[in-house]
């Protein structure tokens, strides 16, 4: 097996992976960096983010306020030391991107412009039109091209970590164009593999967001933290799940039930605001999770609109007029016309809440270090945690930068202090990974189809671990997932070609998703309270006495995960009430 | 919902298949796929892969026209599969990998050449006046932003390379529309001072001078980047450069 | 057992039949043959003019051959096609920024059409045709 | 990779293209009229000779012919390539030589007036 020796290996070349790579390359031009990604860097899902990235720059803003918004938004499940670090680094990272050429929108005087964003009480979201994530990703990718010591391995699919002598010493990956296994030996490894929204049937995530990075760490014994917290975005296109940005409501779009009634006023977000005059923090501009939850209740009450794609409510933007829609929401109009055949200028658009973001992930500390020496994680796959029980929109794009950067520097320090690994032991691990793969590959009969299992998984996730949960539903989903994991061992592979075998990769991705899904469901079953994105119909209140804790899921190869708990770090802000009724001082 | 929106129909796809391990040359395979009217071609392919033939290989990720993975030829035109709507086609639809690129397998093309070219044009800010982070951001007015903004919208989908005959005819020597456009984007950026370095790459025979202004690149670009305009502007600027360099060398400092 | 990328060949002589767009492009390129020949005819006319009246009259007489008329008709069609394609894409080469926006392409292209019509009328007038 | 010298020709191509687009159609109309027997007044021997004898006329005629020649030569070179003639150096040498020769000829003829 071909071995690639490197100092630091990075799995994932989205925003977090690229930021880490650049940090390493700048810190030491002699260090060897292997940047491994299953897609070309600019295909990573960071490109899909539209809204923007939060960082304190304006004189009317302060770190304290960004801190309060983040911690309150996270329903006090955020580690406050991490948030502290995060908010101070945020403006530096965003300015750094500006220096690298990111086309941030500007004020007439040439300084960076900021916009309002859900849950942020002050305008502090930097944006690049409605393509913020796209510009961030491309700026990072293009910037990375100037460093010869960043060696890219595009379209390499990482499968397993290599652990020897109590520390992470590399990984195995499939070179997709040849189908061959490669062994990366490294002084330290950073996982920046992105989220796992694909384990739900209806999501805003790209096809690559299958939680491979999380699953890899998990299988290597690193706990997954707070996995039960899965964020829904209120406005997804009902058939494709494509995100209709929050700006639809920000510009004045309203939500209606089947009787054309603005139902949000029934859920504590009223009183009704005049049409075309949206007001911060009330009605349609209430916090996203509350809006999503209200839609769910409307559906339960039978006041939803029945469509071929399930129960929806209307998003009405007609009163904005063609001109405003073309100027402010051109992409939204495009998407609605393309995928639904509905022109928002003339008709109401059916929408429903859609799985959007994973708050949970690989447990790391503020230094982006995991519990396994030599292994670091950053980005959506990691849980530091700053997002707590509910991420605020526009914090995650900054998180990937702040902790990508940190992960790079910490991994460098760690790798420098290490002696070369034991080649023979690592080679044996490589062979083992190879053998596992070959077994999957060579098996001539399998009873289970990949798409069939995947469908059963996504269905049970939506049913039991969706926007509202119950003990019974979660228990059923846990059982189902355990069963699916067993049946996965019998999955059939139809494609026997080495070159670009997407059938094989789908099978591996399904395996990752099943592992992550089980962590979500079991963690959720054990958390008997409602907090942030984890809403239970049988335990409707937050319970700080028992659950002001992070849940930690530990992998078991054949059994469901073991759940453990860990205290939340609270420095200055004791748990309070999530308050969206007015600006706090 | 009105009927036509929910309509479904059986769509005949003729998909190019190429398995380097078993096929001497590419061949076409027919599939009959039950499609909904609001589907894009990518939905049809995903249905095909999940239900009819799991061995078909193609790239995709975002399903929202922004990651640039899913470029392919649909009835001979370079398109994003997630942007081409099934309802806009009739009869048998032919699906092939992007023209001009080597075929790795089925609809997957080899993108190495494009990636090399991107890197070659130095598509990153080379600051005119370096600044430290502590000094804050560079000032850039909305006008200055607008100057290059359109050219920064490229998603690297490579459709323009599949459309540009000169890229095919020169056997990929031509640096090509997207890469040159990207260089131009940085050249136009008020914060940048790296134009001279980039000109060394793009004001060359294999650079912008291979472009004969066919304009196909701009016709097919799904993001309205208008690379043909960028290349034309680069030619004008390079011509001015040339005359200045050769006839008015004293004007250079 | 492994990679064997298949190279897609482009026919160097027949590629432009593939798409209507390429045919339109080739039509534009082919205008150069007609305009080129026409330029040489003008040059010949100039030569004859410099050689004296008889020679010049001979040149004018030669123009009356049917073949010459046919050529003129084609040359006119192709040169008009060339002009229109040129005007339509002219805005691309030199975008004019006005404040935050750009001058619309239609304005720049339209400007070209206006100049073209005026200039043509002027030349016709000057030549005594109208 | 060194910078290209193509701008030298492209400059004339761009300028020539603009000029040709603006005036060639109407020039063709003039000679077409002549070809059909309605010789425009200006194309009569006396007038045209007088025009070509004036320095301004000479200048205009030279500029028109020169730019037209070089722009069409350049486009012709590309056209050859597009039709599959791959001997670009040979094609370029030929078409540019013709353009150069004709330019010199133009100047020489203009001197005779
Ligand atoms: C539609 C949408 C809109 C959003 N809008 C906003 C917003 O406005 N503001 C905000 O702050 N956040 C937003 N987010 C969230 C934010 O975009 C993401 O959380 C963030 O981009 C994640 O970045 P990342 O680097 O962690 O992962 P990604 O960008 O997803 O990158 C993951 C990388 O890991 C690689 N990878 C994965 N598995 C493997 C494997 N097995 N082997 C090798 N490589 C692998 C992939 O190839 C990829 O390069 C949005 C998200 C979505 C989906
Ligand atoms: S210029 Fe347009 S067509 Fe070309 S790669 Fe970029 S987005 Fe795609
Ligand atoms: S199609 Fe090709 S030739 Fe130039 S204008 Fe576009 S790059
Ligand atoms: S799948 Fe991303 S552009 Fe089509």
Which domain range does residue C81 map to? 15-126
**Domain made up of D6-111: CATH architecture:** Up-down Bundle (1.20)
**Residue B205 in contact with partner chain D when CB distance is under 8 A:** yes
The D-side interface with B (CB below 8 A) comprises: 1-8, 10-11, 14, 78, 81-82
Residue B253, pLDDT above cutoff 50: no
Residue B2, pLDDT above cutoff 50: no
Structural domains counted in chain A: 3
Confidence grade of residue A153 (pLDDT, cut at 50, 70, 90): very high
Residue A91, pLDDT above cutoff 60: yes
Indicate the pairing of strand A230-236 with strand A361-363. Answer: unpaired
Domain identity same for A128 and A272: no
**Residue B125 in contact with partner chain A when CB distance is under 8 A:** yes
Q: Which chain C residue has the Cα nearest residue B104?
A: C5
Going across the sheet that includes B71-74, the strands are B27-36, B8-17, B93-96, B71-74, B77-80
Q: What is the pLDDT of residue C2?
A: 82
Spatial separation of the C-alpha atoms in residues A442 and A433, rounded to whole Å:
14
Collapsed DSSP state (helix, strand, coil) of residue A361: strand
Residues C43-63: tens digit of each pLDDT: 999 999 999 999 999 999 999
Residue A99 backbone phi and psi in degrees, to 5: -65, -25
Q: What is the pLDDT of residue B6?
A: 61
Q: What is the pLDDT of residue A232?
A: 96
Domain identity same for A206 and A253: no
Q: Mean pLDDT, to the nearest integer, of A552-581?
A: 91
Domain identity same for A458 and A380: no
Nearest C-alpha to atom 13 of ligand 1 is from which residue? Answer: A49
Spatial separation of the C-alpha atoms in residues C117 and D106, rounded to whole Å:
28
Sequence-separated (6 or more) residues with CB below 8 Å from residue C6 = B18, B20, B25, B26, B102, B103
Domain identity same for A183 and A327: no
Domain identity same for A162 and A35: yes
State whether D3 and B204 contact (CB < 8 Å).
Answer: yes
Q: Mean pLDDT, to the nearest integer, of A136-154?
A: 98
Domain boundary among A428, A455, A477: A428
A420 φψ region: left (φ > 0), alpha (ψ -120 to 50), beta (else): beta
Q: Mean pLDDT, to the nearest integer, of A421-426?
A: 94
Q: What is the pLDDT of residue A247?
A: 84
Residue pair B217/B227 in contact by the 8 Å Cβ criterion: yes
Domain identity same for A324 and A259: yes
Mutation for testing the C interface, residue in B232, B234, B237 having most C CBs under 10 Å: B232
CATH of B111-248, one of 3.40.1160.10, 1.10.1060.10, 1.10.490.10, 1.10.287.1080: 1.10.1060.10
Residues B115-170: tens digit of each pLDDT: 999 999 999 999 999 999 999 999 999 999 999 999 999 999 999 999 999 999 99
Residues D13-46: tens digit of each pLDDT: 999 999 999 999 999 999 999 999 999 999 999 9
* Cα pseudo-dihedral A455, A457, A458, A461, rounded to 10: 150
Residue B1, pLDDT above cutoff 50: no
> Domain ranges in chain D?
6-111
Structural domains counted in chain C: 1
DSSP code, position A112: B
Superfamily assignment of B8-108 in CATH?
Beta-grasp domain (3.10.20.30)
Domain identity same for A181 and A307: no
CATH number at residue A309: 3.90.700.10
CA of A248 to the centre of ligand 4 (A): 22
Mutate to test the pocket of ligand 2, among B152, B159, B176, B185 (most ligand atoms within 8 A of CB): B159
The A-side interface with C (CB below 8 A) comprises: 177-180, 498-499
Residue A276, pLDDT above cutoff 70: yes
CA A187 vs. chain centroid, Å, equals 27
Q: What is the pLDDT of residue A167?
A: 97
Angle at A244 between CA A515 and CA B40, to 5 degrees: 75
Indicate the pairing of strand A230-236 with strand A156-164. Answer: unpaired
Mutate to test the pocket of ligand 4, among B45, B46, B58, B70 (most ligand atoms within 8 A of CB): B70
Domain identity same for A157 and A216: yes
Q: What is the pLDDT of residue B245?
A: 87
Spatial separation of the C-alpha atoms in residues A127 and B7, rounded to whole Å:
39
Q: What is the number of the ligand 4 atom nearest to the C-alpha of A207?
A: 1
Domain boundary among A317, A334, A354: A354
Residue pair A191/A480 in contact by the 8 Å Cβ criterion: no
Q: In a 10 Å sphere around its CB, with 0-12 CB exposed, 13-18 middle and 19+ buried, how is residue A101 labelled? A: buried
Q: Mean pLDDT, to the nearest integer, of A438-466?
A: 91
Q: Mean pLDDT, to the nearest integer, of A31-36?
A: 98
> Domain ranges in chain B?
8-108, 111-248
Higher pLDDT, B37 or D68: D68
* A381 lies in some domain: yes
Domain identity same for A92 and A65: yes
Nearest ligand for residue B64 CA: 4
Q: What is the pLDDT of residue C1?
A: 57
C22 vs B contacts (CB less than 8 Å) = 165, 214, 216
**H helix and E strand count, chain C:** 4, 2
**Residue D91 in contact with partner chain C when CB distance is under 8 A:** no
Residue A418, pLDDT above cutoff 50: yes
Q: What is the pLDDT of residue B252?
A: 53
State whether B76 and C12 contact (CB < 8 Å).
Answer: no
Sequence-separated (6 or more) residues with CB below 8 Å from residue A115 = A52, A105, A123, A125, A127
B148 vs A contacts (CB less than 8 Å) = 103
Nearest ligand for residue B167 CA: 3
Residue pair B165/C15 in contact by the 8 Å Cβ criterion: yes
Residue B5, pLDDT above cutoff 50: yes
* C38 lies in some domain: yes
- Average of per-residue pLDDT values in chain B: 94
Residue A244's closest CA among A304, A314, A181? Answer: A314
Q: Which chain A residue has the Cα nearest residue C99?
A: A108
**Omega before A271 within 30 of 0, i.e. cis:** yes
Residues A49-59: tens digit of each pLDDT: 998 999 999 99
Q: In a 10 Å sphere around its CB, with 0-12 CB exposed, 13-18 middle and 19+ buried, how is residue A303 labelled? A: middle
Residues B223-242: tens digit of each pLDDT: 999 999 999 999 999 999 99
Q: What is the pLDDT of residue B69?
A: 98
Residues C65-106: tens digit of each pLDDT: 999 999 999 999 999 999 999 999 999 998 999 988 899 999
Spatial separation of the C-alpha atoms in residues B118 and B113, rounded to whole Å:
9
Q: What is the pLDDT of residue A292?
A: 93
Which domain range does residue A469 map to? 443-541
* A396 lies in some domain: yes
Domain identity same for A110 and A239: no
Q: Mean pLDDT, to the nearest integer, of A507-536?
A: 97
Q: What is the pLDDT of residue D1?
A: 63
Q: Mean pLDDT, to the nearest integer, of B94-110?
A: 98
**Ligand 3 in contact with B228 (CB < 6 A)?**
yes
Residue A585, pLDDT above cutoff 80: no
State whether B238 and D82 contact (CB < 8 Å).
Answer: no
* C8 lies in some domain: no
Q: What is the pLDDT of residue A582?
A: 40
Nearest C-alpha to atom 1 of ligand 2 is from which residue? Answer: B178
CATH number at residue A476: 1.20.58.100
Spatial separation of the C-alpha atoms in residues D62 and D46, rounded to whole Å:
19
| Torsion sign, CA atoms A362, A367, A372, A374 | positive
Which residues lie with the beta carbon below 6 Å from any ligand 2 atom?
Answer: B 154-160, 177-178, 181, 220-221, 223, 225, 227
Domain identity same for A254 and A126: no
Domain boundary among A354, A371, A399: A354
Q: End-to-end alpha-carbon separation of chain C, Å?
A: 77
Pair of tokens at residue D6: 């193509």
Residue A579, pLDDT above cutoff 80: no
Q: Mean pLDDT, to the nearest integer, of A350-355?
A: 96
- Average of per-residue pLDDT values in chain A: 94
**Residue B236 in contact with partner chain C when CB distance is under 8 A:** yes
Q: Mean pLDDT, to the nearest integer, of B169-187?
A: 97
Within 13 Å of residue A420, how many CA atoms lie on the same side as its CB?
Answer: 5
**Residue A356 in contact with partner chain B when CB distance is under 8 A:** no
Q: Mean pLDDT, to the nearest integer, of C17-36?
A: 97
Sequence-separated (6 or more) residues with CB below 8 Å from residue B210 = B166, B170, B173, B174, B175
CA of A46 to the centre of ligand 1 (A): 4
Q: Mean pLDDT, to the nearest integer, of A201-230?
A: 97
Nearest ligand for residue A400 CA: 1
ipTM above 0.90, yes or no: yes
The pTM assigned to this predicted structure is 0.96
Instruction: Reply yes or no on whether A233 is catalytic.
Output: yes
* A584 lies in some domain: no
* A561 lies in some domain: no
Q: What is the pLDDT of residue A583?
A: 38
Which residues lie with the beta carbon below 6 Å from any ligand 4 atom?
Answer: B 60-63, 65-70, 80-82
Residue pair A314/A350 in contact by the 8 Å Cβ criterion: yes
| Torsion sign, CA atoms A156, A159, A164, A167 | positive
B110 vs C contacts (CB less than 8 Å) = 5
Residues B206-225: tens digit of each pLDDT: 999 999 999 999 999 999 99
Residue pair D58/D52 in contact by the 8 Å Cβ criterion: yes
């Amino acid at each position: 097996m071909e071995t690639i020796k490197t100092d630091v290996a990075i799995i994932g070349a989205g925003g977090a992976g690229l930021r880490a790579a650049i940090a390493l390359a700048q810190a030491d031009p002699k260090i060897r960096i292997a940047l491994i990604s299953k897609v070309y860097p600019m295909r990573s899902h960071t490109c899909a983010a539209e809204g923007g990235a939060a960082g304190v720059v304006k004189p009317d803003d302060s770190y304290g306020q960004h801190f309060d918004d983040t911690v309150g938004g996270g329903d006090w499940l955020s580690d406050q030391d991490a948030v502290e670090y995060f908010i101070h680094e945020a403006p530096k990272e965003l300015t750094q991107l500006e220096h690298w050429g990111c086309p941030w929108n500007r004020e007439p005087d040439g300084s960076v412009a900021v916009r309002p964003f859900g849950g942020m009480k002050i305008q502090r979201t930097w944006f690049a039109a409605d393509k913020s994530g796209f510009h961030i990703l491309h700026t990072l990718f293009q910037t990375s091209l100037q460093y010869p010591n960043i060696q890219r391995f595009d379209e390499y699919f990482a499968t397993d970590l290599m652990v020897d002598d109590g520390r992470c010493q590399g990984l195995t990956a499939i070179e997709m164009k040849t189908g061959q296994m490669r062994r990366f030996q490294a002084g330290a490894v950073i996982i920046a593999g992105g989220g796992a929204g694909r384990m739900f049937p209806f999501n805003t995530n790209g096809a690559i967001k299958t939680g491979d990075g999380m699953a890899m760490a998990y299988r290597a014994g690193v706990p997954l933290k707070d996995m039960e917290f899965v964020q829904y975005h209120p406005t997804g296109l009902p058939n494709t799940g494509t995100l209709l940005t929050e700006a639809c409501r920000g510009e004045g779009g309203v939500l209606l039930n089947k009787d054309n009634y603005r139902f949000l006023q029934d859920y504590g977000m009223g009183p009704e605001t005049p049409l075309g005059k949206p007001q911060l923090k009330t009605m349609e501009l209430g916090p996203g999770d509350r809006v999503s939850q209200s839609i769910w209740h409307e559906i339960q009450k039978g006041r939803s609109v029945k469509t071929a794609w399930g129960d929806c409510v209307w998003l009405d933007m007609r009163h904005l007029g063609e001109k405003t829609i073309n100027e402010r929401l051109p992409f939204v109009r495009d998407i609605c016309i393309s995928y639904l055949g509905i022109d928002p200028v003339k008709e109401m658009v059916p929408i429903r809440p859609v799985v959007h973001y994973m708050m949970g992930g690989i447990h790391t500390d503020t230094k982006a270090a995991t519990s396994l020496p030599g292994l670091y994680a950053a980005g959506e796959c990691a849980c530091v945690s700053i997002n707590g029980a509910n991420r605020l929109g526009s914090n995650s794009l900054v998180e990937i930068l702040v902790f990508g950067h940190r992960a790079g520097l910490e991994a460098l320090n760690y790798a420098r202090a290490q002696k070369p690994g034991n080649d023979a032991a690592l080679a044996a691990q490589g062979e083992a990974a190879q053998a596992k793969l070959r077994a999957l590959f060579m098996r001539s009969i399998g009873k289970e189809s990949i798409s069939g299992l995947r469908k059963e998984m996504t269905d049970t996730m939506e049913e039991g671990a969706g926007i509202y949960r119950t003990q019974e539903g979660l228990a059923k989903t846990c059982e189902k997932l355990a069963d699916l994991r067993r049946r996965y061992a019998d999955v059939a592979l139809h494609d026997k070609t080495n070159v670009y075998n997407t059938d094989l990769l789908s099978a591996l991705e399904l395996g990752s998703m099943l592992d992550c899904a089980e962590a979500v469901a079991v963690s959720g079953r054990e958390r008997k309270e409602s907090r942030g994105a984890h809403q239970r119909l049988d335990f409707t209140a937050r319970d700080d006495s028992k659950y002001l804790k992070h849940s930690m899921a530990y992998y078991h190869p054949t059994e469901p995960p073991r759940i453990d708990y860990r205290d939340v770090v609270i420095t200055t802000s004791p748990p309070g009430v999530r308050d969206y009724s007015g600006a706090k001082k | 919902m009105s009927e036509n929106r929910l309509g479904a129909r059986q769509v005949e796809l003729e998909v190019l298949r190429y398995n380097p391990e078993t096929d001497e040359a590419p061949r076409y395979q027919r599939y009959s796929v039950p499609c909904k009217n609001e589907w894009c071609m990518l939905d049809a392919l995903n249905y095909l892969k999940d239900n009819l033939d799991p061995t078909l290989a193609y790239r995709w990720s975002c399903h929202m026209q922004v990651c640039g993975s899913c470029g392919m030829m649909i009835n001979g035109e370079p398109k994003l599969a997630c942007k081409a709507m099934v309802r806009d086609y009739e009869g048998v639809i032919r699906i092939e990998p992007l023209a001009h690129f080597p075929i790795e397998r089925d609809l997957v093309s080899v993108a190495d050449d494009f990636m090399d070219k991107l890197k070659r044009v130095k598509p990153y800010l080379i600051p005119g006046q370096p600044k430290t982070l502590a000094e804050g951001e560079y000032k850039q007015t909305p006008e200055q932003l607008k100057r290059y903004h359109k050219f920064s919208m490229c998603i690297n989908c490579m459709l323009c390379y599949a459309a540009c005959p000169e890229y095919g005819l020169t056997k990929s020597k031509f640096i090509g529309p997207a890469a040159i456009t990207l260089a131009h984007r940085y050249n136009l950026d008020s914060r940048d001072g790296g134009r001279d370095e980039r000109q060394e790459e793009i004001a060359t025979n294999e650079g912008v001078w291979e472009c004969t202004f066919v304009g196909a690149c701009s016709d097919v670009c799904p993001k309205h980047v208008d690379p043909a305009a960028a290349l034309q502007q680069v030619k004008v600027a390079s011509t001015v450069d040339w005359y200045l360099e050769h006839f008015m060398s004293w004007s250079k400092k | 057992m492994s990679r064997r990328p298949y190279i897609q060949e482009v026919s160097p002589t027949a590629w432009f039949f593939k798409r209507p767009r390429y045919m339109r492009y080739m039509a534009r390129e082919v205008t150069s043959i007609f305009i080129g020949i026409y330029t040489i005819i003008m040059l010949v006319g100039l030569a004859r003019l410099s050689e004296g009246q008889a020679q010049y009259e001979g040149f004018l007489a030669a123009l009356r051959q049917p073949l010459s008329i046919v050529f003129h008709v084609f040359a006119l069609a192709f040169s008009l096609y060339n002009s229109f394609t040129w005007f339509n894409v002219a805005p691309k080469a030199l975008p004019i920024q006005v404040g935050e926006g750009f001058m619309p392409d239609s304005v720049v292209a339209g400007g070209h059409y206006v100049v073209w019509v005026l200039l043509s009328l002027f030349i016709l007038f000057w030549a005594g045709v109208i | 990779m060194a910078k290209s010298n193509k701008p030298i020709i492209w400059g004339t191509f761009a300028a020539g293209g603009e000029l040709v687009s603006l005036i060639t159609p109407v020039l063709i109309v003039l000679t077409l009229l002549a070809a059909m027997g309605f010789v425009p007044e200006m194309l009569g021997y006396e007038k045209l000779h007088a025009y070509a004898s004036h320095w301004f006329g000479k200048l205009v005629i030279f500029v028109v012919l020169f730019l037209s020649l070089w722009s069409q030569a350049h486009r012709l070179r590309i056209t050859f390539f597009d039709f599959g003639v791959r001997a670009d150096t040979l094609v370029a040498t030929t078409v540019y030589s013709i353009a150069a020769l004709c330019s010199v000829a133009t100047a020489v003829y203009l001197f005779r007036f």
